[in-house]
Structure 1
Amino acid sequence: MITVTAATGQLGRLVVDALLDRGVPADRIVAAVRNPGKAADLAERGVHVREADYTKPETLTSAFAGTDKLLLISSSEVGQRLDQHTNVVKAAQVAGVSLIAYTSILNADTTGVGLAAEHKATEAVIRDSGLPNVFLRNGWYMENYTENLAPALEFGTLLGAASGGRISGATRADFAAAAASVLTSDGHAGMVYELGGDTPFTMAELAATVTAQSGKQVTYQDLSAVDYTKALVAAGLPEPVADMLADNDLAVARGELFIDSRDLSTLIGRPTTPLTDAVTEALRA
């Protein structure tokens, strides 16, 4: 039995799809979700749906019963992740899973990006649990950019503080395919995969791609982290979110979102999705 946590999230649903595409019978997949009502479509496809709230350990214990391999998709609740993930790991120990895979962040043990602290701590908890484990250190999702192109298209400017830093971005579907590959094959215990796209891009190259694909001129305007934060707050984002996004861009500028490992394309058995394709798909939506 393969259990996928956060299975109604944007990444989780794609992992379930990828498992089914790889021929895993639906009745051998557990969609562990906070709100089972949101997973009715998965149940209709024959996938087991079980309540699994990271903040309610009792739901996790029952959700993981009979699980062989478990994918822990990291919580979206920044600042609360470590406690939530620890609950999942403890429940996995009770269930006696043979492998726990965790969606971490690129170079979790060395990067200076603020978001990495909880990932690094979670990796330590998993290692200390004694459970066979594999870390899927995901790089940046292309959707971080392609799902938010409306302001750039409206005003002709893409703002950021990433300087000329290169981003080894890939789509959520690419990362989901990698997770499914690990969950359906052997030899991954103890591995750490640094996952990123084959062809990195800069923010200026992103702007040029948007221009070429949309026919509307978009340029990249590089700001200081302080000015970028102010611009995001002025656009309506809460200050903590704006601070986080600016910190992410500073990490890009330092080269911390670039990787040339080819782990991702190796796991999925194909090249990762090109930026051009991701932008085209976003503009079509």
Structure 2
Amino acid sequence: MNGPNDWFQQNQDRYRREQYERQQAYLRQPQRPTGPPVRQRRAGRRGPSPLVVFVFSAVGLLVGEAVNWFKDVGPVFSSVCTVVAGLIPLLLDYWKSVAEEPAPGRGRAGAPSYDRGGTAAGRVLGVLVFIVVAGAAAYGISWGVGYVTGNETVRAERLVSPVAGRADSMTITVEGVGVTDHYTKVRISAVSRAPTAVDVGVGHDCQLVDDGGQTLQPSTVANDQTLLVPANGVTVRAVITFTGRPAPTATTLTLDFSWFLAHDFGFGAHSLQVHEIKLKADPA
């Protein structure tokens, strides 16, 4: 039979064993955070795809060039359209990330908060770099398109006053002579008294000659081959783009059309010249 000491030893061992098991069970339980919420980076929050930004910027550039084609607004307008369009997905992504961020005191107790990625200064710097790069690229593209197509901004108007030339039933009036960096744009109006429509050759069949003998040829990209003038006195207006600029010392021009022809062949092909187109001094 066991004595009192053996009984006490057995109970003490059992108590220690039970205490050890309770400690292990406690340690195996998930621990609640006691400190401030840990900021974690939300998986996948890396901003809009560069492809999306590129597509939006390209659409903005196309819109700017379309407006520039019909209204002379210059490459700066295309640059602004490109930058504004490219900023749209960036702003939408930022507003979405702000909406997903829980308000202070609204989050679940102990739940981690999420970092939208990067510092505020880093995001601002990224936007500024995008504005500079996209704006410069769009300006360069728009300038290149204008150089190839002749759709450049008019830098100066050199015509002193409108001058008309007549041949048979056709009257053509020069209403403006604008110079760009690489082209000369001659604005004309044409009216025919013939009973049928008349075609005027404005492609390879006209030229602009200054008083120094320099001859400018029409741009094959910027101009149509013919200008259709309706019958019975209806006035049409057009712009003929010539490659090059008159000499800075030129004081007069001659606009020469090699032919114009009635649709019903009521009269044969005729030529027409507009002489003594007086010019202002070239400000360049």
The structure whose Rg is larger is 2
Higher relative contact order (CA 8 A, sep 6+): 1
Whether TM-score is above 0.5 comes out as: no
Could you state the TM-score of these two structures normalised by the residue count of structure 2?
Answer: 0.24
Larger helix percent: 1
TM-score (normalised: structure 1): 0.24
Which has a greater percent of strand?
Answer: 2
